[in-house]
Structure 1
């Protein structure tokens, strides 16, 4: 049965995100500040092997929007590159030739395959590049990129068509190929709180070398600077060339990254992780340890839960509450 939230009943189409989510995109500023505060922790991510990484900005964005991502990956040992094509005004057919030339330039200068990190529309470009030149692409990571299902389920469709002069319905075969399986490993990072694109349009078909990673509470505008998304990108790019394994429990940053139906569990080998020093104690980056320490330090949350449960008992079961209090007074 179709979900009413996805579109008109029986239509099988997806709807753009709600207006409330779109207005909440301003929280991207807090995500950026969180990355700055957590920078010592983020630097504990797996380090790269120095291979080149090309960062592709989203619609109406420029290289400046990907500067934090490039800076972070550069600190981890990668050779980062901007796309140098000005502001992204859209147009898949128009940008394809220039992007392939830029990819060939980086590949020729380094002599190594290039990993592609694309934000929003930049992720669509990245997947298209992997199809056009798989011999030059090592890995593809997309951030909130609407390439699957109903790609019109965004709050920017009308603006995109007006600026780019290209209709979303055009190039149906190319869009179908981009949504399919790539000849290189790929990861799609998305958020259910995305206020610009419907998160279902960011889901690829999981396979032996493709996976989806959800980040809690992230906005569309803030995905490129979200601390959990930054960690996920660094961890994915650190895989040796020609190898792929899913994001496992010990590899995940314990911040807004859920484990869904065993999606991140894998019987494949796990890379060893170094513990994080915190007030002289060694902490492993696991969800279980994060919950334990959060419960231990968040006194306000514990008091709030106790007060709320007591208030609920008084409201829902007044007879039992009075009887209990009378027995206590008699004693």
Structure 2
């Protein structure tokens, strides 16, 4: 097993706690509604032009491409070429995950650099992939992704360890999560997030190029119209 390199002790990553249980309870209560919106709600009208830009959307932990349908349809309608990640349900990091993403790029005929949009764990994976294959990535946009602070500064790590079969701080690949990829990065976070601590998704100075607060729950990052519009603007910024 490899290890995750944490921020230096002076950054006090250990003092960032997971969101309070009252926020997690709201996430659970709205889970079915939000997932239904993410899959079946109509596309959101966007105020930008995609001009054929390639976009790959990576789902969150235990989610699949079905959960990013509204986001991708909205981008397609605005002239982007939006792709799912094509790897089924996101069950966590595996030793060959980045090679699988490479193969999906080839299957989708993506020749030039693409924007990676990653929700939650999908954003962490997108950042790490961009470090390994920067020639294939134009920019990375994360949505409530825990790339900063301690990997247990969230309410999902216990379930993650059970499903993925490894500790969150002992994955099968080397990773320095807080280290910024060598491409432009945009981090979206929310104070209403009941799964990932806002500070963990926002990051510290130097860990992303731009950090923006959205007013939505964790589950709504890929369904809320304003969040989808914010993503589209970040792609063309």
Q: Considering the TM-score relative to the shorter chain, is it more than 0.5?
A: yes
TM-score normalized by the length of structure 2: 0.84
Deviation at 1:103, TM superposition (A): 2.8
Quick check: 1:210 aligned with 2:212? no
The alignment of Structure 1 onto Structure 2 pairs a total of residues equal to 222
Give the unaligned 5+ runs of structure 1.
1-9, 240-331
RMSD: 2.7
User: What is the match of residue 191 of structure 1?
Assistant: 190
Deviation at 1:65, TM superposition (A): 0.3
Contact kept, 8 Å, 1:100 with 1:129, in 2: the verdict is no
Residues 244-283 of structure 1 deviation map (CA, whole Å, 9 limit, x = unaligned) = xxxxxxxxxxxxxxxxxxxxxxxxxxxxxxxxxxxxxxxx
Contact kept, 8 Å, 2:95 with 2:173, in 1: the verdict is no
User: What is the match of residue 89 of structure 1?
Assistant: 91
Quick check: 1:162 aligned with 2:162? yes
> For 1:147, what is the secondary structure of its paired residue?
coil
User: What is the match of residue 153 of structure 1?
Assistant: 153
Question: 1:171, 1:187 → 2: CA distance?
Answer: 24
Give the unaligned 5+ runs of structure 2.
1-11
Question: 2:182, 2:236 → 1: CA distance?
Answer: 19
User: What is the match of residue 181 of structure 2?
Assistant: 182
Identify which of structures 1 and 2 has the higher relative contact order when contacts are C-alpha pairs closer than 8 Å and 6+ apart.
2
Higher radius of gyration, 1 or 2 = 1
TM-score normalized by the length of structure 1: 0.61
> For 1:50, what is the secondary structure of its paired residue?
coil
Question: 1:205, 1:143 → 2: CA distance?
Answer: 16
Question: 1:208, 1:22 → 2: CA distance?
Answer: 26
Deviation at 1:88, TM superposition (A): 0.8
User: What is the match of residue 233 of structure 1?
Assistant: 231
